[in-house]
Amino acid sequence: MIDTSKPQAQAEPTEFIVQLHAVTKQYASEAGPVPVLRGIDLCVAPGETIMLKGVSGSGKSTLLHILGAIDKPTSGAVQICGEDLSVLNNQAQTTFRAQRLGFVFQFFNLIPTLTASENVVAAVDPLGGPRKAREQSAVLALQAVGLGEHVTKYPSQLSGGQQQRVAIARAMVKRPTLILADEPTGALDSATAHQVLQCLKNMQRDTGCALIIATHDPIVTDYADRIYRLDSGQLEEEA
């Protein structure tokens, strides 16, 4: 049975959950290579919350995709939870994402034919265990983000803010080692944004997970340990 009081996946013994060294990313075009990331260095310790700022197109989503083993860098070293992502094949990357990572996507990525609860259960299905335990975990996660009365509703029956909270519950439910969030409060009012950010911080306190949030929302600064800005493909820490 899935124990919702304890993390489902622990980081390997290491000083940092995230270690990036000289990471670059460029895309091909008819005019030649287009650089997006230029020599990114970043280390994130257990329990840290990092806020990642930058204008649209600055590479925030690209960096999150590299951190989440969705995309590969052009060069540089990426080590997450003690794993060198460059040596993982496609199947190993899929397993790694299922066991270690939680994602909050900018555009929700909910499955329209599944209820709120079923969308959250889908995040823990790869982990196995009794179906009833997974369903109970999903309900608890939805209750934590204030959606306990909407577990049987479909995405089309929910507001944009409610859909975003389902997406956040989906990221939280397996209690991952690292949560990557792309504009997680973009569709939320101020009060609800504080509520879901506090939920994430409570889970972080309980599990020691790291949290990286790419956002324009100034509310997130109240919850961040460090704030970085991506500018011209380079990462700079703000004082």
3-state SS of 143-211 is HHCCCCCCCCCCHHHCCHHHHHHHHHHHHHCCCCCEEEEECCCCCCCHHHHHHHHHHHHHHHHHHCCEE
Share of the chain above pLDDT 70, in %: 94
Token representation of residue 224: 């961040």
Contacts of 51 by beta carbon, 8 Å cutoff, 6+ apart: 213, 215, 220, 221, 223, 224, 226, 227, 228
Q: Which residue has the higher pLDDT, 6 or 232?
A: 232
Digit-coded pLDDT (tens) for 46-102: 999 999 999 988 999 999 999 999 999 999 999 999 999 989 998 999 889 989 999
Cα–Cα dist 165/184, whole Å = 8
- Which pLDDT value is given to residue 14? 53
How far is residue 71 from each of residues 3, 26, 47, 80, 190, measured CA to CA in Å? 31, 12, 24, 13, 32
Digit-coded pLDDT (tens) for 179-189: 999 988 888 88
Pick the CATH number of 18-237 from 1.20.1250.20, 3.40.50.300, 3.40.50.720, 3.20.20.70: 3.40.50.300
pTM, whole model, 2 decimals?
A: 0.86
Domain locations in the chain? 18-237
How many residues are listed for the chain in this entry? 239
* pLDDT-derived band at 127, boundaries 50, 70, 90: confident
Burial of residue 53 (number of CB atoms within 10 Å: 0-12, 13-18, 19+): buried
What average pLDDT score do residues 132-144 get?
93
* pLDDT-derived band at 7, boundaries 50, 70, 90: very low
Cα–Cα dist 70/191, whole Å = 32
* pLDDT-derived band at 1, boundaries 50, 70, 90: very low
List the one residue out of 41, 2, 239, 4 whose CA is nearest residue 144.
4
- Which pLDDT value is given to residue 129? 86
List the one residue out of 239, 100, 62, 119 whose CA is nearest residue 178.
100
Token representation of residue 86: 């460059």
Strand partners, 42: 20
